[in-house]
Structure 1
Amino acid sequence: MSRPQCSRCLRPVSHCLCALIPSLDSRTRVLLLQHPSEVNHALNTARLAALGLSNAQLVVGEVFEDLATLLNVPGYQARLLFPADDAQTLKAYSPSDQPLLLVVPDGTWRKARKMLHLNPLLAALPRVTLAEGGVSRYRLRKAPGPGALSTVEAIAQALQVLEAPVSFEPLLKPFEALIEGQIAAMGDEVFQKNHG
């Protein structure tokens, strides 16, 4: 039997995170393209990011038939937040810069690469990346490499850089509560054994 679920954050009602989710404005528009396998994942950080940002949109799929429309937002220049040899490291906007439509694939690295393969328009976007050295607060998983962040962490860090000195730290509050709740549920001994 399933537990009652919050219709907004999709967490069990007893573990609803809505009270911690901010409502942040940003100059940058964020388009999250979420792989279907992530929707019901217990640690759905893309949903937390979309709920916490007033200028964000979450679209679920693997092939996006309407991608051209999603990317054509007047007043914004689309950039894919995804590593590549030719990716530009994000830097703060100058007053004359056109804001970005920051396109963020959400899924495992393998699934995100598959989404790029299945959506040539997505793969063709100019890429941007975060500066090296980001440290994840996601203490429940082994990162595939240094600087690997969860989706909400990557978005918060990107916005922090682009829109400095505005703080996007509140975006991480529900994420941190989610991690703390998972650790509490497994117990300290199990956490230390598997993740400590």
Structure 2
Amino acid sequence: MHKTVANQKNKERFILQAEIKKPRLACYKCMNPKSTCICKYISPLHTKTRFIILMHPKEYKKEKNGTGHMTKLQLENSEIIVGVDFTNNKRVNDILNNENNSSFLLYPGKDNFNLSVKDSSEVNSFMGNNPQLFILDGTWPCARKMLKLSKNLQTLKRVSFDNTIQSKFIIKQQPESLCLSTIESVYTVLNLLKKGDVEHCETQDFLIPFEKMIAHQLDYMLNPNHKNYHSKASNEFVPKNMYKKTTERNTIFEQRR
């Protein structure tokens, strides 16, 4: 009798542990849990510019909350290449060695081409017929390391812009005022390329998946009935005036001095 009761308790304990350890079902397209899948908000744009997202391995591992993967989903003419040193990366070098391409790096620099201050004729002439725009997706320290190691990226002409908006990525502490996530940076670049008559796509819905992802995260953090509830979250998700010196994210914009 006692053995039967013990076996039953062990069985119940095993079932309970299995339920606790049961992984959440994930969407293999947007990488989010199925309960917060954003695929129905994805509306891929067709662009003349090809966006090559060079993603640091650390960013790749946390891609369900990162925006690099989301940016890829929103752009038909784009791809992700994961790595740190791209000097001998075959795919990157194939793009760079294609004589029909004009390759650029979206990154601040002393002699960069600032899209925000150039007129449409200058932008159109500079970008050429088949622009390929490389984007470093990782934290600022990681992005700097990627560029330092990747000798083939160091010689590229750099493109940047003056940012005047605040990031909507309020669930993460910003490194500096006016810093943007990868998807917000690409959104800004697309609008500037439209002004330069390089692009003709409609961008008004480009950030919707990003906004929905933020809304899902906030709902979980502010919902007392959810396991991710954060009692102090309502006080933390406000415009921030103090910024970390080290960052969990990177952004690309022209830094004013």
Question: TM-score under structure 1 normalisation?
Answer: 0.90
The 2-side partners of 1:146 and 1:153 are apart by 14
Percent of residue pairs identical: 31
Equivalent pair of 2:55/2:82 in contact (CA under 8 Å): yes
Counterpart selection for 1:185 from 204, 220, 227: 220
Aligned equivalent of 1:7:
28
2:202 corresponds to which residue?
Answer: 167
Work out the CA distance in 1 between the residues paired with 2:163 and 2:36.
Answer: 34
Gaps of 5+ in 2: 1-20, 224-230, 239-257
CA displacement 1:139-191 (0-9 Å, x = unmatched): 12232223311000001110111123643232211100111111111107532
Count of residue pairs brought into register by the alignment: 196
Q: Which residue of 1 aligns with 2:7?
A: none
Matches within 5 A, 1:129-144: 129-144=160-175
**Pair 1:87-2:112 in alignment:** yes
When normalised by structure 2's length, the TM-score is 0.70
Q: Say whether residues 1:32 and 2:53 are aligned partners.
A: yes
Indicate if the aligned counterparts of 1:79 and 1:126 stay in contact, CA closer than 8 A: yes
Distance 1:74 1:55, change over 3 A: farther
Aligned equivalents of 2:110 and 2:178: distance in 1?
A: 16
Q: Structure 1 residues 59, 89: CA separation in 2 closer, same or farther (over 3 Å shift)?
A: same
Q: 1:194 aligns with which of 225, 232, 236?
A: 236
> 1:190/1:40 Cα in 2 relative to 1: closer, same or farther (>3 Å)?
farther
CA contact (8 A) 1:24 1:53 kept: yes
Letter aligned with residue 140 of structure 1:
I
The alpha-carbon distance between structure 1 residues 74 and 52, as it changes in their structure 2 partners (threshold 3 A), is farther
- SS of 1:170's equivalent in the other structure is coil
Q: Assess if the C-alpha contact under 8 Å between 1:133 and 1:146 holds in 2.
A: no
CA shift for structure 1 position 74: 5.0
Moved more, 29-38 or 92-101: 92-101
Aligned match of 2:65 = 43
Q: Give secondary structure in 2 for the equivalent of 1:139.
A: coil
What's the CA shift string for 1:13-68, capped at 9, x where partnerless?
11111111111101111000001111232422111111111101111111222221
> Could you tell me how far apart the structure 2 residues matched to 1:99 and 1:70 are?
11
Q: Report the CA distance shift for 1:94/1:88 in structure 2 as closer, same or farther (over 3 A).
A: closer
Give the superposition deviation at 1:123.
2.2
- The RMSD of aligned alpha carbons is 2.0
What amino acid is the match of 1:29?
R
Q: State the alpha-carbon separation in 2 of the partners of residues 40 and 137 from structure 1.
A: 22
- Tell me: CA distance 1:115–1:141, structure 2 relative to 1, closer, same or farther (3 Å): same
- Report the Cα offset of residue 99 of structure 1: 3.9
Larger C-alpha radius of gyration, 1 or 2?
A: 2
Aligned partner of residue 70 in structure 1, secondary structure: helix
Q: Given the alignment, which residue of 94, 100, 113 partners 1:75?
A: 100
Gaps of 5+ in 1: none
